[in-house]
Each structure stands twice: as C-alpha cells, then as structure tokens.
Amino acid sequence: MSESDRPAFDARAFIRTLPQSPGVYRMLDASGTVIYVGKARNLKRRVSSYFTRQAHNAKTQSMVAQVADMQIAVTHTEAEALILENNLIKELRPRYNVLLRDDKSYPYIHLSTHQRFPRLSFHRGGRQGQGRYFGPFPSASAVRETLNHLQKVFPVRQCRDSFFENRSRPCLQYQIERCTAPCVGYVSEEDYARDVRHVEMFLDGDSNRVIDELVARMERASENLAFEEAARLRDRIAALRTIQERQYVAGAKGDVDVVACRIREAVACVQVFVIRNGTNLGNRTFFPRVPDATDAGEVLYAFIARHYLGGGAPQELIVSDDIEDREVLEEALSGDAGHRVRISPRVRGERRRWLDLALSNADHALSARMSTQASMDRRFEDLQDGLALDAIPERIECFDISHTQGEATVASCVVFNREGPAKSDYRRFNIEGIEGGDDYAAMRQALERRYLRVKRGEAPVPDLLLIDGGRGQLAQAVAVLGEIQLDDEITIVGISKGPRRRPGEEVLYIAGREGEYRLAPDAPGLHLLQQVRDEAHRFAITGHRGRRGRKRTHSVLEDIPGLGPKRRQALLKQFGGLRGVRRAGVEDLARVQGINRALAERIHETLNG
C-alpha cells in the first residue's frame, strides 16, 4: 500500500481498543517506519495523553503530527515494559527517542580462575564464560593501564592459551620480571595461586590486606637473609601503594557510578564516573542523540536504561537530575543486575563534590564538542562553496585500498557527517577473486558490495563519495554507481596528490565535470577532504595488516606438504611460535620429533627461501 493510499490514523478508535495495563507502544509514520517507542503503566491513559488538547512541547507536537499508525505490546509489569522498551529502542533506533551514539559495552578484566594457571586478560561483551570478571572500566585504556600495573606487582600471565601451551622456553615477559613462566614450570602451582589470590583481593578493593601480606613476607625474607627477595617484595609494596594513592576516592563505598547530564543548544553530554570499592576507575563521556526540547531528566532516564540494562548496574547511581518513574527504573535495573540498585538524585558532602566534578567535566566536554561542531560546520560549508555543490553535503563516504604486493587486499569505507567521523558506519571489505595488485578491480568490488546494499535500502545514500585516486579510480566509481543507478543521487569526487605530493596541493576531479579543481591549501573544505581521505587510508591499512598477519600465521605452515597438525604443533611448541621456527636452522628443525631432514629442508626453504 502506498503512503497516499494509507487511511488516516483514527486515534479515538485506536484508544478505545487499548487496555488499562502496562505495556509498550510504537508510533509509526506514513512509510511504516517506527518513529517513537514508549512504555506506560496504563496504556490507555498514556496513549490518550498524546491526542488531548493539552499543550505539548514542540518535539511532541511534531512527533504526533506524523503518526499514521500505532502498535502495542501488553506486559505483566511496568518494569517488564521498561526492559521491552529498551530492547526495541536499541533495535529500531526511532527518530524521536534518545539514542546512544556509542553503544559499545564497557570493558572488563577477566581472570580465568577455572584454569590450572589462570590468565588475566581484557574482555568486552557478555560475561557468560567461566572465571571472574572485574569492572566495568570506563574505557579500554583504563583496563590496559590497570593490567600493566598489575603485571608489575603480580606476575600473573597475560598471554593467550595457544601461546602458553606451545612454549618450551620462557618468553620476554619472564626476562623483564613480569611473569614467573608457569608455561615451563619455573613457578610452583602453590606460589602462582598465591599471586592469583592477591590479584583477586586487589581487584576486589582489598589492597590493604595484600600489602599487609607482602610486608609480612618481606620481613620474613629479610630475617632469613634473602635480601634479593626482600628487595623485590619492597618494590611490589611501593608500586601497590602508588596505585592506591592515585585511585582512592574519599567517601565512596561499594560500587557507584556518578552520572551527570548537561544540555546546551539541543546538544546533550552525559558524563559517567566509575567507582568500584572506593577506587576511581576513570570517566567516560557520551553524546546521546536527543530530540529538541528534551530535558536532562529524560536524557538520564533513557541513558541509564540503554546503558545499564543487560550490562549490569552498580549498587548505586548518583544522578544530576531527578528522573520520572525512578522506582520503576530501579526495579528493572535490580532485577537485571541480581542485586538492589539505588538511584540517588540528591546527595551531600563528598558525594556531592563528586557529582559537581562530573557536571564540570560534562560542561567542559560539551564546550569542546560544540567548538569542534562549529569547526566541522565551517568545513562542510566551505566544501560546498569550493566545489560549487548544490547543497551542503550531510554524509560523505570515502574508499581506499591497501595490500602488500597484492597480498591480503582490504578496502575501507569510512563515513563522515556534520558531527565528524561516524565510526559505527565504517566498513571493511576483504577483496577476493581478483589478480593481486589490481587496485581498479579491488575498488570496483568494494563499491559494488557497498552500494548494492545502499540500493536495497540497507544503508543510507551518501551525498558525496570521495575516492582516493585519480581519474582511473574515479571512472571505476562512476561505472559502478551508473550500473546500480545511483550516479544521479551521489556527487563523486576523486582526490589525488599533486605532482610534488605535498599536502595542500591535492588535485580534485568531479564526475560529470571537465578539468581539475584545486582548493587553497588553507581552505577548511580541503582540510575536511584530507581528514576523510587520511582516515580511510588508516582504516584500510590497519585492516590489511590484521588480515595479512592472520593469513601468514595460520597458513604458512599449513601449506607445507607432509607437515600435518601434530608436526606443526610439535614445531611451534619446540621453538615458541612461528618466529622461532623461521629462525631455526635445518639441523635444529630435524631434531624435532617426526621431522626428518628432507622435511626440515622443505620447511626452512618455505619460510626463508
């Protein structure tokens, strides 16, 4: 049914069918797209409120004017409705809901306590696996910094199991005293288990007990004249006390997140400080997408639901503004986390000072964001002027190709909008079935894969397509988009370095126009294109290096005739990995069980020939 054939929405008739029960409602526009998802304690009363004559703010008026249909889902409780609402918003991303731009989950530290020699590692995602999870941490860098500190104090292994199980000699971490080499039996299970227990105590916030035990061990070592051991323990204690001083939060007990929101000119910033067992793990900044006329309480409600449901909330959330339906949100969070969660909008003393600090950080982040936004707006406007475009482009996509002599070819697609890089829309394409080093064929394959999806409506249509290359690559893009029938909708621009290959001397080619374009070296529009191109280049190179590394690691030995899985395993274990196998001579290779001299020569020739 076309939009013009769709009957007008009869709100009164719809409301008459609604139960007075908790549930979730969805508003759809004339195209059938969900534009808003909400939850209600009483569906009939809540939906009715949108269609009464009472005054609504501009956001609600605009939203209701577009409603062409509504759908509901009845639930048993309001808390159940909140969880369903949260899941639908994450899935559908409706235009009039508050949306998190970065929905990436918090990272954790994982300790594989189920293993004989447990491993400490970075973890992101669900926590269904065995072992213990510590966190969440506000950023990946906070996890890596903590792991780095832990390794200096408690030499617990951080290597992958595949690496650990294939060692025949200690690795560099042992040489620099950051691991006790359990892989080759240099430490007893009992001593290793003691270090693991200390790691758990420290991450549980009981670092004072760890220090007391280390002090007692240092004194015993000194009494026994084991001065080297005493000095080693002394250094551990000093490092641990330094970490304590840096991270201690006065007045904070248990697990607490401080969540503060500031809104300025329809731009919202949410600042989260993460405190676990009196330790400040750092802060994280979010810029959720908010409709006009949304207040801080609405933003906090939506943020907390999206951010913590399904990810585990701490025992307390200190918030900067009061939240409507706070009790319902607490009930849903508590059921999800498996412990009571309290939301505190009014705090005093030291906790108030932490809230003020979070608000101050939100203010600074918001100012920086708006300054960056103004700069980005100038760049987009200057690009329109410089290239004589009909309108300011709202979405730019750029492609680049990376390979090493035709090996492991990867194409990148990066996306920029008026807010900067849209990293969740970035894509990489592993190029297959072409002659190695044929950049034109690689570009063609990437463009076809991307824009067939765009044509099917699975991704937005960009306003401007930037190709890193000259007329040849531009011709490939024009041909592909012409075949897909998108060439009339997208401005296609090629960018190549000038004769001297200096920044600021780039040459631009625009599909359908004669000649070349050059923008002034200090033109904001040129700076935008340079930034987009360089980001596509970076994204392609990192993808290519990863693919090349995986391919070389997994396939080189597999390609050698006569070298089956058991022999490959024996080689890797004997020499500590592929690098060690490559460095070994023929005589060394031939000493490995199952490897005769002819096979050793074949291995050596393959890896070093």
- How confident is the model at residue 375, as a pLDDT? 82
Enclosing domain of residue 313: 255-367
Residue 250 has a pLDDT of: 44
User: Are 535 and 571 members of one domain?
Assistant: no
Query: Mapping DSSP to helix (H, G, I), strand (E, B) and coil, where does residue 36 land?
Result: strand
Chosen domain end from 19, 54, 87: 87
pLDDT at 244: 58
Q: Report the pLDDT value the prediction gives residue 381, as an integer from 0 to 100.
A: 93
In this prediction, residue 104 carries a pLDDT of 57
Query: Which pair of structure tokens corresponds to residue 446?
Result: 């990437």
Phi, psi of 248 (to 5 degrees): -65, 135
Residues 362 and 407 in one domain: no
Q: Is 267 within 8 Å of 373 (Cβ atoms)? A: yes
Helix (H) / strand (E) containing 363: helix 349-387
Residue 2 lies in a domain: no
**325: in domain:** yes
Q: What letter would DSSP give residue 32? A: S
The model's pLDDT over 378-411, given as tens digits with 9 standing for 90+, comes to: 899 999 999 999 899 999 999 999 988 788 899 9
CB 300 within 8 A of CB 84: no
pLDDT of residue 429: 94
Q: How far apart are CA 543 and CA 328, in angstroms?
A: 44
In a domain, 52, yes or no: yes
73 shares a domain with 115: no
Looking at the fold, whether 449 and 584 belong to one and the same domain comes out as no
* 74 in any annotated domain: yes
**Within a domain: 381:** no
* Domain count within the chain: 5
Could you tell me if 408 and 446 lie in one domain?
yes
Tell whether 34 and 59 lie within a shared domain. Answer: yes
Query: Which sign, positive or negative, has the C-alpha torsion 47, 50, 53, 56?
Result: positive
User: Distance between CA 568 and CA 599 in Å, rounded?
Assistant: 12
Task: Identify whether 383 is part of a domain.
Answer: no
pLDDT value at residue 102: 54
Residue 118 has a pLDDT of 92
Residues 464 and 534 in one domain: yes
Same domain, residue pair 414 and 504:
yes
Q: Is residue 407 located within the same domain as residue 523?
A: yes
Q: Is residue 5 part of a domain?
A: no
Residue 419 to residues 359, 387, 422, 530, Cα–Cα distance (Å): 22, 20, 8, 16
**Domain annotation covers residue 311:** yes
* Sheet of 267-276, strand order: 279-286, 267-276, 255-264, 316-319, 342-344
The enclosing domain of 594 has a CATH number of 1.10.150.20
Same domain, 401 and 492: yes
Tens-place pLDDT, residues 534-561:
999 999 999 888 887 766 655 577 778 8
Instruction: Kindly report the number of other CB atoms within 10 A of residue 519's CB atom.
Output: 22
- Tokens 């002599």 sit on residue: 405
Do 183 and 314 lie in a common domain?
no
DSSP assignment of 320-358, as one string? Answer: SS--TTHHHHHHHHHHHHTS--EEES---HHHHHHHHHH
Q: Report pLDDT for 4.
A: 46
Instruction: Record the tokens describing residue 563, joined without a space.
Output: 């070298």
Residue stretches of the chain with pLDDT short of 50: 1-4, 6, 246-252
Give yes or no: residues 323 and 457 share one domain: no
**Domain with 420 in it: what CATH number?**
3.30.420.340
The domain boundary residue, chosen from 532, 551, 570: 551
CATH number at residue 79: 3.40.1440.10
CA torsion, points 191, 193, 196, 202, in degrees to nearest 10?
A: -80
